[in-house]
Amino acid sequence: MEGLELASEESTTARAGKGAIKSMSEENKASAVTQFAEARELKAAAKVTFGHGARHLVGTGLEQSQVENAIAEQVQATAKAASSTGSFLGKVVVEGQEVYYRAFTLPDGTINIGTYTVGAP
């Protein structure tokens, strides 16, 4: 598959939590580890992959990277705020043009953007 892949990011909060465990008593370690794991799960950005929507940008003046970065940013924000994502349609505005995309959540949590178009599909 062609396109952009955004790696998962471990949050600053999660990294700080990992170091703090060293100075804790044994009884608090298990709890801290659990909290760290939860924080990491909550803060990790979903991996976003792209199919062949880029060819629909021909003649629009938009660049693949700017469009796909905007979509990835919005999809990751949506995924962070939602308990589950499934399949959904979305819209971003890039350089004043509306770009509509179709997102599909895969079993491993990756969100694949099957296609996108400039203007309402």
Chain residues that interact with other proteins, rule: CB under 8 A: 1, 49-52, 55-56, 87, 100, 102, 104, 106, 112, 114-115, 117, 119-121
Contact, 33 vs 18, CB < 8 A? no
Nearest approach in angstroms of CB 112 to other proteins is 4
Of the two residues 15 and 104, which places its CB atom closer to other proteins in the complex?
104
User: Hey, what are 64's tokens?
Assistant: 């693949």
Distance (Å, whole) CA 40 – CA 20: 15
| Cα distance between residue 75 and residue 48, in whole Å | 8
Closer CB to other proteins, 49 or 76, in the complex: 49
